[in-house]
Amino acid sequence: MARQRIAVIAGDGIGQEVMPEGLRVMKAAADRFNLSLSFEHFDFASCDYYEQHGRMMPEDWKSRLEGFDALYFGAVGMPERVPDHVSLWGSLLQFRRHFDQYINLRPCRLLQGVTSPLANRAPGDIDFMVVRENTEGEYSSIGGRMYEGTDRELAIQETVMSRHGIDRALRFAFELASTRPKRSLTSATKSNGISITMPYWDERVNAMATHYPDITVDSFHIDILTARFVMHPDMFDVVVASNLFGDILSDLGPACAGTIGIAPSANLNPERRFPSLFEPVHGSAPDIFGQNIANPVGQIWSGAMMLDHLGHAEAADAVVKAFEAVLAQADSAVITPDLGGQGTTETLGRAIADRLV
């Protein structure tokens, strides 16, 4: 197989601490399974870069990255130095939009050795995937302000729901549901209150469902759906949602499955016209940066999703099994403080990489 090129962007804060552990595990997996992967590091999409150059990324970022097979990303943001909307819109959101990463995929799985904040939940009870539409919906740039600074001041921001945009996200979610044993799909809606775009979303769900007769489909309004995530996380398999609803659910889901430090995500361009991006769900955690205590599992699990996307299912599976085994062992000298241990980012990363040898 030809060599696959991965662009590595650690970004800010603990992104710089968890990325080396992600790479350690990726390299161990590549050795074990004879994968030909190369890693090229980039210092942009960080607040350090911003302070030197007055922008988050160089002007030619797109041409520099678009030839890569995948982007392996840490986290971005240092709110005391650069406002969050500047750092986020100047980097991560550019990737999502210009590389048409229209699926944001987040597995939510309660693992052995990790305590759920929900009472009486055991591994096996929580195992679902959130599929978020990542390019349109409520997060549009259509709108504006009028009569600024007067009593009539107003702001409008329009939701964009296109047939193309909804259908491609739904198709991905239905296909994903087809590969899972439960064969069930839940749609997040709010067609009672949002009476134009959300009934349209529902209509497209029903239309897509006719192509997948063996998938059980249900639909909940977003308000009761969030309650059900907490009360009955065991009832979900694949959950599909618009950009805003998916944003909320894809933080709530991983939170129900324990520490945010382990949650992974993929921003996918399923057609592979552009590189997809793999990153932990967490941010740059300035509060613990510099202490070497950040949990690297979110970065490592995201790396497993990347291997899978690159066609290395067996290696991806081995990485998942490796961190599952290390977490299940719960050796307090190895696991990080968020999991109740006294280990470091590095001890946990090394323990996982060692399992792959």
d(CA 118, CA 258): 9
| Binding characters for ligand NAI, 316-355, by CB under 6 A (x = yes) | ----------------------x-----------------
Largest CA distance in the chain: 67
End-to-end CA gap in the chain: 22
Q: Applying CB under 5 A, which part among 11-19, 29-37, 79-87, 247-255 lies near Mg ion?
A: 247-255
Answer left, alpha or beta for residue 330, where phi above 0 means left and psi between -120 and 50 means alpha: left
Residue count of the chain: 357
C-alpha dihedral, 212 to 215 to 219 to 222, nearest 10°: -100
Whichever of 9 and 322 has its CB closer to ligand NAI, that residue is: 9
Residue 273 per-residue DSSP state: S
Which of Mg ion, ligand NAI, none lies near 137, with the C-beta cut-off 5 to 8 A by kind? none
Applying CB under 6 A, among 35, 65, 166, 285 the residue interacting with ligand NAI is 285
Q: Applying CB under 6 A, which part among 37-45, 143-151, 283-291, 313-321 lies near ligand NAI?
A: 283-291
Q: Applying CB under 6 A, which part among 31-39, 99-107, 219-227, 277-285 lies near ligand NAI?
A: 277-285
* Structure tokens, 157: 């921001």
Instruction: Check binding of 40 to ligand NAI (CB under 6 A).
Output: no
Which of ligand NAI, Mg ion, none lies near 284, with the C-beta cut-off 5 to 8 A by kind? ligand NAI
Applying CB under 6 A, among 70, 188, 255, 294 the residue interacting with ligand NAI is 294
Beta carbon of residue 277, minimum distance to Mg ion (angstroms, whole number): 14
Task: Identify each DSSP E strand in the chain by its residue range.
Answer: 4-11, 37-42, 70-75, 103-109, 127-133, 143-146, 154-157, 184-189, 216-221, 238-241, 264-268, 276-280
Residues in contact with 60: Cβ distance below 8 Å, sequence separation at least 6, in sequence order: none
Instruction: Check binding of 298 to ligand NAI (CB under 6 A).
Output: yes
Which of ligand NAI, Mg ion, none lies near 84, with the C-beta cut-off 5 to 8 A by kind? ligand NAI
Sites of contact with ligand NAI (CB under 6 A): 14, 18, 75-77, 79, 84, 88, 92, 260-261, 279, 282-288, 294-295, 298, 338
